[in-house]
Structure 1
């Protein structure tokens, strides 16, 4: 079975992400964001666009300190835990995203879970897909796609798959950012 066409998928991801970011910023003109991320679950083709504010982070962190006795290390990790962000998966609010990206998700899922594909091929595909998404994220950043958002002075972009740890994700983002800027 043939893997999805990364050129086509990356172009679509860029266009849909840019559209969603613009619509999201119009809906939240009074919010100031500290970060934007792609929250991935590659095996299913899921790409969630996420954003968070310091105020939302403080609310969640206060709750976690009280309920789970979180310390400084856990709070640092929590700040990058996209699942706890107030605006996780905001792209799913837009029908244009769901209509266009749904076919990509189905194609990826069929490929990854095909009986005719070896685990090594799946691993290679997953790594290549994450790198492709990272390059799209860096292109969005370089082309000013986040300019419509109100941003903290230390605003950053991030990306992580559900099956990887923060260190792996951070190293890949740093490496691809260096290549992108070279």
Structure 2
């Protein structure tokens, strides 16, 4: 099976993300955010756009403290775990996302879960997908679209695959910023 072409994947991910961000910004004009990220399950072709606010971060820290009897997660752990963000995967709730992304998701998943797929080429393709997602984020940043939301000082962005170490994700994004 041939690998799905990365250029159309990147273009579609960027186009759909821009529309998702526009819709999100219109609906959340009064909220302030500390971060935006793309939470990925690259092997399955899933890219979840996510925002979080300092207020939601503080709530998560309090909930963890209550749940773990005072042993709360460090704020850095909370900020890099996009699955806990208030608006995790908001793009999936928007009508344009599934029809626009599903053919790409299906092609990626079929390629990477093919029984004949060997580990090394699969890992290389996943890394290429993650680099695509980083280029999409860099393009979003440069477009000014994130400025359509209210950003707290120290606003950060992140692209991270499931099970990935935060430092690896940060290094990849930094490298892609330099290359772009």
TM-score (normalised: structure 2): 0.95
1:47 match: secondary structure: strand
Give the paired residue count: 179
In structure 2, how many angstroms separate the alpha carbons of the residues matched to 1:76 and 1:36? 14
Q: Over residues 39-81 of structure 1, what are the superposed CA-to-partner deviations in whole Å (9 max), with x where a residue is unaligned?
A: 000110000000000001111111112222335x633211211
Alpha-carbon separation, structure 2, partners of 1:113 and 1:142: 34
For 2:35 and 2:89, the matched residues in 1 are separated by 14
CA distance in 1, matches of 2:177, 2:65: 34
> Post-superposition shift, 1:164?
0.9
Task: State the partner residue of 1:130.
Answer: 130
Describe the SS at the equivalent of 1:2: coil
Q: CA RMSD in A?
A: 1.2
Q: 1:163 Cα deviation (Å)?
A: 2.5
SS at match of 1:158: strand
Partners of 1:3 and 1:149 in 2: how far apart? 36
Secondary structure of 1:102 counterpart: helix
Q: Give 1:9-24 correspondences, 5 Å limit.
A: 9-24=9-24
Q: What residue ranges of structure 1 are gaps of 5+ in the alignment?
A: none
**3-state SS in 2 of match to 1:163:** coil
Separation in structure 2 between the aligned mates of residue 163 and residue 51 of structure 1, nearest angstrom: 19
After superposition, the C-alpha distances for 1:2-21 in whole angstroms (9 at most, x for unaligned) are: 11111101110111000000
- Give the alignment of 1:5-154 within 5 angstroms: 5-68=5-68, 69-71=70-72, 74-154=74-154
Q: Which runs of 4+ in 1 moved over 2 A?
A: none
- In 2, the alpha carbon distance for the partners of 1:75 and 1:157 equals 15
1:98 Cα deviation after fit: 0.9
Instruction: Report deviation, 1:97.
Output: 0.5
Whole-Å Cα distance in 2 between the matches of residues 127 and 120 of structure 1? 11
